[in-house]
Structure 1
Amino acid sequence: DQNSAGEARFNPYPKDWGTSSTGQFWDRLSASNEYTAKNVSVLRMSDSELYTTARLSPLSLTYYARCLANGNYTVTLHFAEIIFRDNRSYQSLGRRVFDVYIQGQLLDGTIIAVKQLSSKSKQGSREFVNEIAMISGSQHPNLVRLYGCCIEGKHLLLVYEYMENNSLAHALFGQEGSPSYLDWPSRQRICIGIAKGLVYLHEESPLKIVHRDIKATNVLLDSDLNPKISDFGLAKLDEEENTHISTRVAGTIGYMAPEYALWGHLTYKADVYSFGVVALEMVAGKNNVKYRPSEDYVCLLDWLMDPRLGSSFNQEEAIRMIKVALLCTNPSPTPRPIMSKVVGMLQGHINVQELNMDPSIYGDDLMFQSLRDEYNEMRPDKA
């Protein structure tokens, strides 16, 4: 490894090294030892010295280390070639099929999140342009802030404010069965915040925007658990002179409104439906649809309150949120309320209108009936 800032040379002797690194770091002429990563964990295995260092690679997203034993490892990926080249360390935040999310730091110390989209796919390029167009002119406390963008060679980069508490999905559902705990006041505040963000997109923004992919993973939480809607790659403009948009269906199964999923008929009411699903997820603490290979699908409507809340929740607010969520998920788009009314109902400023739907049009009426029965049992006048 004569050039520590360039590509590492493959040497079959000893055989515990392998590399596919290419490219050069930008400051390769400076004297630096920062291209060798050192383990900071406590290692309790024989020959632990073999697991203490790893060689960084300018153009590789793969972590290489000497003689890795079988097991689970927590590693930090380093992307020194990406945009903020005065900063050496980046942290992986998550990954989608077409995106890579990383954490970085600006010169003034501001922590940022960088979203790298795939330039190899038409979808990645299309979402890059779309996201800039939709969010660059949108400023609202409940929308994630876009700092800037960069096209450098084949890299498509979007730079966002960093959200310390990851996503709502992470807080509610977690990973490997270990979700973070959200108390009821936090859930109520988050639900209202998401609704306010949608009010801005649908009713207040100069560009009326249909997000098309409202779901728990696309709601990010800052250090104070304030929600911010993110990922505008699928968003569409809602032209006032159009009653609806006929478009290619794109989004997430389980959150898409029936009229959009079945016929591609898109209006802002599709976002209202998706919001209703997210609201039910916050009440139940469960994913909308959870697949179990050995069983049938498990539907959220089989649950009501998250058992982790115990009795520590405001029953009046919970009933109100459930009722609003059911209004939003009406199979027919016309009866769904506009988001400004949703905010008023959630805050208790507007009476929640009576639920009136015919779910048999689109699905199993018995599934909805079980939810209605449980809801009626929770009503204060039934106590």
Structure 2
Amino acid sequence: MKNTKQKNLIENSFNKNSTSESGQDYLQRGFKCKNPMYTSLDINCGGYPWSTYEKDTNPLGPSSYFSSSNGNWAVSTTGLFMDAEDHKWIVTGNSSEFAKGIYTEVYGTARCAPSSLRYYALCLENGEYNVQLHFAEIVISNGMTFASLGRRIFDVYIQGIRRLKDFNIKDAAGGSYKVVIKNFTVNVTENYLEIHFFWAGKGTNDIPVKGTYGPLVSAIRITTNSKINGTNKSNKSMIIGIVFGAVIALGLAVCLAFIFIRKRAKRKSGSYETKNDKGLTDMDTISNTFSLEVLKNATGDFNPENKIGEGGFGAVFKGILPDGKMIAVKQMFPKSRQGNREFLNEVGTISAVRHPNLVELYGCCIEGKQLLLVYEYMENNSLARSLFGPEEFGLKLDWPQRYNICLGVARGLAYLHEESKLRIIHRDIKATNILLDQHLNPKISDFGLAKLFDKEKTHVSTRVAGTIGYMAPEYALKGQLTEKADVYGFGVVVLEVVSGRTHTEKTLEGEMVYLLEWAWHLYEKKRLLDLIDVNLKSSNYSMEEVLRVINVGLLCTHGTPTLRPSMSTVVGMLEGKIEAHVSYSRPPYLGKQQVDMDKEDLSSHTEILSLEGPSNISSSI
């Protein structure tokens, strides 16, 4: 026993600053990646492929390593389990112990190590990344049994810096077979990222966790936060020039193509076309390509004082054209390749649709490294600023104004989903992407993440992009996208409009922190009117209309996408033409319901736990 423990602690101390010799040889080659290309990574530690997560099922052992087939990640282990005949570097839990809605494909298995476990993300583009570590204790049980007496304690280092000390999964999660997710921001400067789980000799190392006592992790997710700086690309200027030139050329081709199409458009159905002062139809205004000089003059050379918003891929400036017309100019960040894709997507999507509740794109500018989009100017900025911004920006919206905003957004989405020649899913419906004109008419903006969708398909599987809090569970977790993802986001916005608060308020306590959870709590307690913004309670409003709108918000956030109403149905509900009646209990992804509902009123539903998507994208025009 003494010799084994001494050997383990020696290896433990050594492994804190190094890996096995054979593993180090491989990893050094990986660190010197000649072509960094990756900006994300999902690993199902100890498990098989699932959704976007790659499998990690190699058994490994003492002083072992494994590298993925495409060379984008590797894992190494070091150490010997003390006095254990059956060494387990991969452990499997009892799936039935998990609460419903937790994905056992991810959390039912985990990789374990006796002393040191390292994961490496290789060939990453340099920049800032978000690291999510997913844990669930599946060895040490709950309750007052012998198997529950063990304690698993370890440290976590990222890029050599200790980020968690004496971490105990069971304590952090509030019990065994419960999920806890830890988030970190990490800067990558040498094209690799190291995550080191390290047993420092604390906790139980014998019965009842004999052979499985070391660090344990269920899944790892690494995503860029869109601040890639391209440090290692200085030696590849020629390649960059070619790639960037191709992107610019493609963007120009898209712009010119739409100019050509618009000038020759002979659509006579134009129920949304109006004449401007020059006698041109709005359909023709997209034909504009602006010079950089004109837009610089309009915005005061992009003077910070004219900045009216900033998102993940660009800043937005107020401007005035020589003819006195107000515009909003979005200047894409020059180093963001994802911003280039958003630019092309925006031009290609919003140019193809026209509706009073969609923001209008006047044109674009492509000169040098500048990518600029020119929109109609919205005098009252975003709905988010009106509802949640500083008091000096607050509009103190009354109930009729809030109701009309909800109805206008619903009509805009119904057009995108069902009435337009193209079926378009916005993917980022939130209060910051709903703009208000001088008359407080709402217009949906920011189509950089929009997707065209084939009417014959039930859903598309795509990389998750959007904003946490507004993303539907099935999309955030599985990447399964339908127009019902927009319906979900709309439901969250509706509840924000009624309550006058954001979807998450960390300053509050208990169920009030999360708006959806609070709304369902009030629904179960038959106190839905307590959800109404206190700023409205002193004004006159129709109680029936407010309750109808709240019910629409609850219906739109159902856990099962097929049971959410279509947006045309939502319009009918808001107008009072279709009954908006909630006939089921709180969605399982919000936790256990507080009261027993009438079983006859319950509708079948899917239970989903979100793993959180990689991106938290915010933009404003």
Same fold (TM over 0.5): yes
CA offsets 1:182-225 (integer angstroms, 9 cap, x no match): 00000000000000000110001111000000000000000000
The partner residue of 1:266 within 481, 499, 514 is: 481
- For the residue of structure 2 that corresponds to 1:344, the secondary structure is helix
Paired residues of 1:327 and 1:355 also in contact (CA < 8 A): no
- For the residue of structure 2 that corresponds to 1:288, the secondary structure is coil
Paired residues of 2:292 and 2:367 also in contact (CA < 8 A): no
Kindly indicate whether structure 1 or structure 2 has the higher relative contact order, using CA contacts under 8 Å at least 6 residues apart: 2
The partner residue of 1:326 within 551, 554, 565 is: 554
Cα offset for 1:176?
6.8
Cα offset for 1:324?
0.7
| 1:104 equivalent in alignment to 2:319 | yes
Q: Give the Cα–Cα distance (whole angstroms) in 2 for the partners of residues 146 and 264 of structure 1.
A: 29
Tell me the residue number matched to 2:65.
none
The partner residue of 2:442 within 218, 227, 233 is: 227
Cα offset for 1:286?
0.2
Give the AA of the match of 1:84: L
Tell me the residue number matched to 2:424.
209
| 1:239 equivalent in alignment to 2:454 | yes
Cα offset for 1:299?
1.2
Cα offset for 1:110?
0.9
Q: Give the Cα–Cα distance (whole angstroms) in 1 for the partners of residues 586 and 362 of structure 2.
A: 45
Q: Give the Cα–Cα distance (whole angstroms) in 2 for the partners of residues 202 and 170 of structure 1.
A: 27
Tell me the residue number matched to 1:366.
593
Indicate how the Cα distance of structure 1 residues 177 and 108 shifts in structure 2: closer, same or farther if over 3 A, else same.
closer
Paired residues of 2:552 and 2:580 also in contact (CA < 8 A): yes
Give the AA of the match of 1:363: L
Indicate how the Cα distance of structure 1 residues 82 and 218 shifts in structure 2: closer, same or farther if over 3 A, else same.
farther
Structure-to-structure mapping, 1:143-162, within 5 angstroms: 143-162=358-377
Q: Give the Cα–Cα distance (whole angstroms) in 2 for the partners of residues 86 and 250 of structure 1.
A: 34
Paired residues of 1:323 and 1:355 also in contact (CA < 8 A): no
Paired residues of 1:284 and 1:305 also in contact (CA < 8 A): yes
- For the residue of structure 1 that corresponds to 2:390, the secondary structure is coil
Q: Give the Cα–Cα distance (whole angstroms) in 2 for the partners of residues 228 and 208 of structure 1.
A: 18
Tell me the residue number matched to 1:309.
536
| 1:337 equivalent in alignment to 2:565 | yes
Please, what TM-score do these two structures have when normalized by structure 1?
A: 0.71
Cα offset for 1:290?
2.3
Cα offset for 1:355?
2.9
Cα offset for 1:296?
9.3
Cα offset for 1:335?
0.8
Q: Give the Cα–Cα distance (whole angstroms) in 1 for the partners of residues 572 and 464 of structure 2.
A: 31
Unaligned runs of 5+ in 2: 1-290, 519-529, 599-621
Give the AA of the match of 2:562: T
Cα offset for 1:282?
0.5
Q: Give the Cα–Cα distance (whole angstroms) in 1 for the partners of residues 593 and 513 of structure 2.
A: 14
Please, what TM-score do these two structures have when normalized by structure 2?
A: 0.45
Tell me the residue number matched to 2:249.
none
Seq. identity, %: 57
Tell me the residue number matched to 2:401.
186
- For the residue of structure 1 that corresponds to 2:329, the secondary structure is strand
Select the structure of larger CA radius of gyration: 2
Give the AA of the match of 1:146: L
Higher strand share: 2
Indicate how the Cα distance of structure 1 residues 271 and 156 shifts in structure 2: closer, same or farther if over 3 A, else same.
same
Tell me the residue number matched to 1:346.
574
- For the residue of structure 1 that corresponds to 2:563, the secondary structure is coil
Tell me the residue number matched to 1:279.
494
Tell me the residue number matched to 2:295.
84
- For the residue of structure 2 that corresponds to 1:93, the secondary structure is strand
Q: Give the Cα–Cα distance (whole angstroms) in 2 for the partners of residues 134 and 202 of structure 1.
A: 13
CA offsets 1:28-77 (integer angstroms, 9 cap, x no match): xxxxxxxxxxxxxxxxxxxxxxxxxxxxxxxxxxxxxxxxxxxxxxxxxx
Q: Give the Cα–Cα distance (whole angstroms) in 1 for the partners of residues 572 and 509 of structure 2.
A: 43
Tell me the residue number matched to 2:336.
121
Give the AA of the match of 1:170: R
CA offsets 1:159-192 (integer angstroms, 9 cap, x no match): 0000000100011111379633000000000000
Give the AA of the match of 2:580: V
Paired residues of 2:314 and 2:330 also in contact (CA < 8 A): yes
Paired residues of 2:331 and 2:372 also in contact (CA < 8 A): yes
Give the AA of the match of 1:305: I
The partner residue of 1:135 within 311, 336, 350 is: 350
Cα offset for 1:350?
1.4
Cα offset for 1:117?
0.9
Q: Give the Cα–Cα distance (whole angstroms) in 1 for the partners of residues 488 and 314 of structure 2.
A: 26
Tell me the residue number matched to 1:356.
584
- For the residue of structure 1 that corresponds to 2:498, the secondary structure is helix
Cα offset for 1:95?
1.5
- For the residue of structure 2 that corresponds to 1:289, the secondary structure is coil
Paired residues of 1:326 and 1:355 also in contact (CA < 8 A): no
Q: Give the Cα–Cα distance (whole angstroms) in 1 for the partners of residues 445 and 538 of structure 2.
A: 32
Give the AA of the match of 2:590: G
Indicate how the Cα distance of structure 1 residues 88 and 161 shifts in structure 2: closer, same or farther if over 3 A, else same.
closer
Indicate how the Cα distance of structure 1 residues 251 and 87 shifts in structure 2: closer, same or farther if over 3 A, else same.
closer
Structure-to-structure mapping, 1:21-60, within 5 angstroms: none
CA offsets 1:324-372 (integer angstroms, 9 cap, x no match): 1110000110110000110111011112244325522x231337x69x9
Indicate how the Cα distance of structure 1 residues 308 and 132 shifts in structure 2: closer, same or farther if over 3 A, else same.
same
Q: Give the Cα–Cα distance (whole angstroms) in 1 for the partners of residues 569 and 344 of structure 2.
A: 32
- For the residue of structure 2 that corresponds to 1:365, the secondary structure is coil
- Deviation above 6 Å: which 4+ runs of structure 1? 293-297
Tell me the residue number matched to 1:33.
none
Aligned residues: 291
Give the AA of the match of 1:365: K
Q: Give the Cα–Cα distance (whole angstroms) in 2 for the partners of residues 355 and 155 of structure 1.
A: 52
Q: CA RMSD in A?
A: 2.5
Cα offset for 1:85?
4.6
CA offsets 1:6-40 (integer angstroms, 9 cap, x no match): xxxxxxxxxxxxxxxxxxxxxxxxxxxxxxxxxxx
Cα offset for 1:294?
10
Paired residues of 1:211 and 1:235 also in contact (CA < 8 A): yes
Task: Please say which of residues 288-297 and 305-314 is displaced more in the overlay.
Answer: 288-297
